[in-house]
Every structure is written in C-alpha cells, then in structure tokens.
Amino acid sequence: MTQTTHILVIDDNTDLLMMLKAMLTSRGYQVTAQPDTENIIEFTKGVSPDIILMDMLLSGADGREICRDLKANDDLKNIPVVMLSAYPMAQVDCLNAGADGFIEKPFDMNFLLDTVARFKPAD
Amino acid sequence: MPEDNQNAGKKFFSDLKFGNFMEQAPMGICVLEGEQFIAINANDAYLQVVDRTPEQFIGKSLFESLPEVKDAVEGLLKNVIATGIPYHGIEFPVILKRFGKTETTYFNFTYQAYRDEAGTIQGVMVICVEVTQSVLARHAIAESEQQFRSMVMQSPIAMTIFRGPDHVIETANHVLFEKIWRKKPEDVLNRPALEVFPELKEQKYPELLQKVYYDGITHTEKESVAYVHGDDGMRRFFLDFEYRPLFEPDGSISGIIITVNDVTSEVEARLQAEESERRTNLVIDASGLGTWEWNLQTDEMKFSDRFAELFGYGPNEKIPHDKLVNAIHPDDLQVRQLAFEEAYKTSVLNYEARLFNTAGEIKWFQTKGKLLFDEFNKPLLMMGTLRDITREKDHNSELEDRERKFRLLADSMPQIVWTADAEGNLNYFNKSLYNFTGMSATEVMNDDWVKFIHPDDVNENMRIWKESVAAGSDYIFEQRFLTADGHYRWQLSRAIPQKDTTGNIRMWVGTSTDIHEIKELDEQKDLFIGIASHELKTPITTIKGYVQLLQTMYVGKDMFLENSLNAMHKQVITITDLISDLLDLSKIRSGNLQIQQEVFDIKDMVTDVLLNTRQTNPSFEFIADIQANNVYVSGDKNRLSQVLINFLTNAIKYSPETKQINIRMEDNNDTVKVFVEDTGIGIGKSDQDRIFERFYRVEGKEENTFPGFGIGLFIASEIIKQHNGNIGVTSELGKGSTFYFSLPKQQK
C-alpha cells in the first residue's frame, strides 16, 4: 500500500476550500485546507505536502508571490504547485511565477482530479 | 442792177398785171420762158436768194446761170411746161453755189405754167421762199434729240420718258429694263405706264406723275420704296428718282423724263447695319447695361437711355458730366479716382461704386470701360458700360448675413464644429474649440492645432484623416483633446465631405463631440462586466464542484437526486458559458481580445472539439467528413475551437428533432473552410445578414425555447475577423442551416 498523497489547498474562499477538500478526499487524498496565508511558507514547511493547490487571488496576498517564495525556498521548491484562477490569461503569469499546473475556474471535476493526479509522487 | 433789165422786168410784171406787188413781194419770183427756160424776169428777192445779178441772170437760160440746179429741177420744169400742171415743192433741197460756197438750201416753191392769150403755154413762173434756216434748225434739233436718246440709252442711270397725260412709255434705257423693270422692251414701249405696271396704282407714283405733268414742277425723292413686278416676280426697290417735266417750245408739257438710281443694295446694307445695331442695342438693353462715351478733350458725354435711367433720369435728357459725378457716393469717389488712375496706366477702367439716383436711392453700379488715346498718346475718349449690381450686392450681403447666422449657430453649439478644404486643410473652427482648448484662432490656424490632440492619438488621427480625404469617405475617430485647464477629454470626431453637383468634394464639415463621460461610463461598464464575471466564477466553481461530487456519489442510487444533480450541472454549464461570453464581449469592446499565435493542424482541432461534443451530446449523431491532412492555420487554437463549439452548440440547440449534424472540411488553394450543417429549423433570409451582430437573436416562438444572450455568433465573427478569415451562413427556413468559417492556410 502506497502512502497517501498529501495535498495542501490554499484558498481564502472557505466554501470553495471545503468543496475542494471534499472532492479530493473522496478520491483518497489527504487534504490540509488553509484559508489563511499568514506565514504560509513556515506553515507549508510544517505541513510538508506532496502537492500544493492554491488560488491565485487571495485576500491580502498574491498567489504568484507565494508561488515564487515557495520556489525560492530550497526545502519547498520541489513541491508541485497547481494554481487556480478565474482569469484564463493568468495561466502564463502563474507558470512564470514557477507554478507547475494551472486550472481555470470554474473547472470540471475530472479535469481537476486528472491534473492533480499528474503530480502524485511516483512510488 | 442794170437799169435796162430792171425796166424789162418791170415791164413784164406790168404785163402780168401784178405790178409793184411782185416787185415788193417777200418771196422770190422769176419768170422762165420757153423750152430753154430763159429768165425773162426775176425780182430782187429771187436774185438775192440765188446771189445773182440781173446781168448774170435776166435774158439767160436758167441752167446757164444756175447750172447746179439743173439735176434737181429740170424734170419738174419740163413737166410743168408739157402738162401745165403746177408743181409745189416743200422744203425742197437744192444745192446752190452762192456767196462763194456750195450749200444745200431748202425751198418751198410753186412752178406755175403761164400761157399767152391763145392759151398756149409760154413758160413757167417760179415763186419760192427759202426755208433753209428753219429746215436746218429742225435737223439740228432732231440730231440733238437723237444724241440725247442715245445718251439716255447708254446711261448707267435708269432713264425713261413718259409721254402725254397717260404716261405712255416712249423710251427707256437698258439699265431700267434690265435692273428695275425686268421686262422686254416690246412688252413695255408705247404703252401707258400704269397698264404695264398695274402694281404702281397701289403706290404713290401715279399721283406724283400727274402732279409733275400738270404742275410742271420737278419732283425728286431719295430712297423711295417701290414695288415693281418684273418677269421674275415682284421685287422691292429703294430708288432715288427724279420726275422732270418735258417742255415743248411753246411752254406746254408733253411728257416726263424720269431718272432712277437704284440704291436698294446700299439701303439694305445700311438697314441691315442699323438692324444689327438695333439688335445689339436690344441685347445691351436686355442685359440692363447702360453704355456711355466720354470725350476727354471736350468733356462731352454721350450715353444710352439705360445709363440715364440708372441715375434716375428719363430718356433723352441732357445731363452734364459733373452732375453724374456728383451723384456718386462721396465714400466711393476715392474708388473711382483710383480706378481712373489705373485706367490711365492700363487703358482698362473697372470699378464698383454707389450712386444716389434722382429719387435719392442708393444704387450699386459696376462700370467697365476702355480708354482710347490719340496719336500723341493723349487720352482721347473713354467708353464703356454701366451695370446695376444693387441686387447682387444685396444678395452678397444676404450671403454675409447667412454666413453670420451660420457662425452664430455654430458658435452657440456645445460641439466643436470645424471645416476643411477639399485637400483636408482645416480652415475654420467654431468658438467651442477656442473655449475648450483656450487657444487663440491664430494659434490654432498656425497648424498648431495638433497641440491639443493627445500625443498617443495624433498619428492615428492623421492617418485616418488622410485616408478619409484621399478616399472621400466619412471620417470618424475617437481621440483626446487637451482642455484649457490641462486635462484630456475624449472626443468623437466625425467629418462628412460636402460634394458639388458633379460629385467633387468642395469641403469637409466636421464635428467633435465630447464623449468623455460616455467613454468613462463605457469603460467602467466593461470593467464592471469583467470584474463581475470573474467574481461570479468563484461561487460557480464551488457549486459546480459540489454538484459533480454529489453526482459521483449518487449515480444509480437515488433517481431523484441523480436527475436533480444532472439538471443543476447543465444549468451551471449554461451559466459558465454565459459568463464566458460576457467576458469575451467586454474584451472585444475594449480591444483586449487576445489571440495567441501558433501554427497547428486544423484537423486536430476539429477532431478534438468533435470528440468533446460527442461525449457531452450522446443523443446526437455527428457525421464528420474531414479527409484533408496537414492543413495548417496560424492563430489561437482555443479561440478557434470556441468558434467551432459555438457552431456545434447552435446546431444542437436548433435541431432538437432531427438530431443529426454534419461537419465538413474543404481544402482550397489558399484557404481552408469548415462547415457545420444541421437539419433544424433554419434561418430566414433577412435574419441571415444580421445574425453575426451583437445581441441579435432571431425573432419568433423558438426564441423562448433557446435562451442565451445572442452574442455567441458575434464573438465567433470577431474571432474569425481577427484571424483574417470569413464567417457566414446559408440557410433555408424549415430545412436547416450551414454555418462556416474559412481561414488562410499556413505553411508549416
């Protein structure tokens, strides 16, 4: 039995956050849902997730900045980051900020799950 | 005369019982006796006539003393002696040698036989009167008359003589026959004139002839009109003629000598000249031009009636020159003065001025003239025309009035109004512009007008303006103008070419309307739509996520839940599409519809889209005919997919019954064309043209069946436009529609 994949989901919209958690949990992922971005780097270090799923626009923070910070951190830079945005044009920005995947909102459940599955660590 | 002979003669006359009477008779008498015609007596008168002395004559044979008469009279005398019948000679010519010469003489005479008492003829008594003088005189008259006739006949002036109270044509010359009467002499001569020319009865000539014939006073007339009917018909003549009475020696009038000079051609030429002058005058009169002529050396002024009329004078009125000058408006005397100075240099006079006519009204006139110089280069004469231009001046001032009104109107508008010439050079702005920009007219007109246009808009403005001017098409452009207090405000500038009747552009009239607030509101609206759409996406995402999650949990477990969740999911997708459309629309409006450029195989795109559509619409049959391989286009794959999805979505929407949709691809030379063909309700002809417009939806009951904003095709059309492609539809109501787009092909 392989180890459960741990996903850190960061979104300030708690309803969306809970929906994402439910969706991913239903597929057997371990989910840490985080609506707050304060000390997110330290928080992430503590959680040590396999995948980070993060909205681009967060209250009081820019997901792209966080992404850059994560990628600049030697401890965290190898964790795949998948970003969500309602702006399809933001995809380029997100990838430039170091994101590994991009999902446009609203998304199809299968698309989200397929995308996330791509970043599951190899056994 | 010897005494003896005298005595013998006296004795003879005594014997003859005539006595002294014979001796004293004024006629010549002589007595010739016997066969030898011995002159036995002759009176002095006789001897004087024959210029012979009694010695040379008496007692001698007649032919001995007057041998020259023998041939003429011997026969006559012998006949009288032989027969006793007397002979009377009248104006009998006899050649006589007398007074030292031989001359022809004429005699009236009687040869009378005389007898003795027994009745035997003894000799011949000659009684004669010499009439040589009168015969010769008569001959001379006849001769001069002959010469006169010949002169008349040869004269280049037509002449004729009418005789008697009936004016019988006695003679006429060639000129008269040929040029005026145009008749043959045999039809004319010796006939009464009025019988030959009955047409004269209707004219004044018979009366004149009678007057001359009876009064004896010569009548002459110039350029008299006469109608004469010749062999070639009636003709009109202008004749100078003279009727001169012909007097007989006794003072009585026997006829009229008529001379006629045909002046028809001269008169007609003159009349023609007069006519053409009259016509010229008519034209001048009709044109309303007054004419004038000013002799600069005598100061004498001549002018037409129309000229006088302009000054308020009647025709033929004498008006001194200074009076005319005084009528000119004092303010315009300077103009006149300058015009005359110019005329002395160029010999052309031309000026406009006002005058006071006699009624005290002000009249504008224009005078044009020419100055003529004499051989010493001294001004001689000035002549010209005068035209009343009061109405034109009034008209001009009316135009000025209108111009003022137009400017007032333009100035009172809040809009900026401007005009440009045909070449596009700006030449007028209304007050609004100066108020708006705070610039002066001189600044603006010094081509500094570009200064008030936003630097980012100047080049594009110039480009579009030049394009419009070159093409003669309407100009429309949104740009920012700098206000007096240093802010830029959006203006919508439009200009329309003003064309003349031949279609050439005469000028441009433009306006710039402040649309700053509208523009801001519009931008805010687009921004709002954008933001609102994005804000909508997050809650939709949550709903959609939960619906899909719940669907996975309840499929096949709870029919009601499953159906409800399916309906919710469908509606969520609809909302998502609507939001997406709204976003695209706002992007198109703001010009932010971004097109990614990549070269891809269009077959791949069509296949991908079709695969997805088939999955989500399992109840529909999609028949694909996409044979062409390796057909590449350049552009935004997602956007082009969106167009195809739109076509397919519409086809699905509008074909609820048939559930069959064909997809075709056509590989042409330079383009590739993609068709989506349904067998649905179809679109009417009038709707087909407008279906790609924004918010256009086909009217009708079906409208309620298929909700939507009606902007999908507009977006599709914008996307295709940005790819330099074409979009279109063919359709027939009740049979279905075929939507297509074509794109330029690209080399991989």
* Mean pLDDT calculated for residue range A88-104: 89
Cβ atoms B677, B661 nearer than 8 A: yes
Task: Output the pLDDT for position B20.
Answer: 65
- B552 part of contact set with chain A, CB < 8 Å: yes
Interface of A with B (CB under 8 A): 13, 15-16, 19-20, 22-23, 26, 84, 86-87, 89, 105-110, 112
Task: Output the pLDDT for position B8.
Answer: 46
Task: Output the pLDDT for position B710.
Answer: 63
How far the first Cα of chain A sits from its last, in Å, is: 10
Report how far residue B417's alpha carbon sits from residue B432's, in angstroms, rounded to the nearest whole number.
8
Report how far residue A24's alpha carbon sits from residue A7's, in angstroms, rounded to the nearest whole number.
8
Element counts in chain A: helices (H) and strands (E): 5, 7
Nearest chain A residue to B550, by CA: A23
Contact partners, residue A77, CB within 8 Å, separation at least 6: A70, A71
Give the count of Cβ contacts less than 8 A between chain A and B: 53
- B615 part of contact set with chain A, CB < 8 Å: no
From the list B552, B576, B594, the residue facing A106 with the nearest CB is: B576
Q: Which of B531, B549, B552, B580 is the best substitution to test chain A (most A C-beta atoms within 10 A)?
A: B549
CB contact under 8 A, A105 and B538: yes
Q: Which of B744, B503, B715 is CA-nearest to residue B631? A: B744
Q: What pTM, to 2 d.p., does this model score?
A: 0.43
A113 pLDDT band, cuts 50/70/90, is: very high
Nearest-5° Cα angle at B615, B612 to B619: 130
ipTM of the complex: 0.91
Task: Output the pLDDT for position B408.
Answer: 84
* Mean pLDDT calculated for residue range A23-34: 94
Q: What are phi and psi of B263, to 5 degrees?
A: -115, 20
Q: Which of A105, A113, A116 is the best substitution to test chain B (most B C-beta atoms within 10 A)?
A: A105
| Coil, helix or strand at residue B559 | helix
Name residues of chain B where pLDDT drops below 50: 1-11, 13-14, 17, 701-709
Q: Of A84 and B405, which is predicted with more confidence? A: A84
CB contact under 8 A, A13 and B540: no
Report how far residue B219's alpha carbon sits from residue B241's, in angstroms, rounded to the nearest whole number.
8
Residues of A in contact with B552 (CB under 8 A): 26, 109
The DSSP annotation for B9-73 comes to HHHHHHHTT-THHHHH-SSEEEEEETTTTEEEEE-HHHHHHHT--HHHHTTSBHHHH-GGGHHHH
DSSP conformation class of B181: I
Task: Output the pLDDT for position A98.
Answer: 93
Nearest chain B residue to A17, by CA: B542
- B641 part of contact set with chain A, CB < 8 Å: no
CA distance B552 to chain A (A): 10
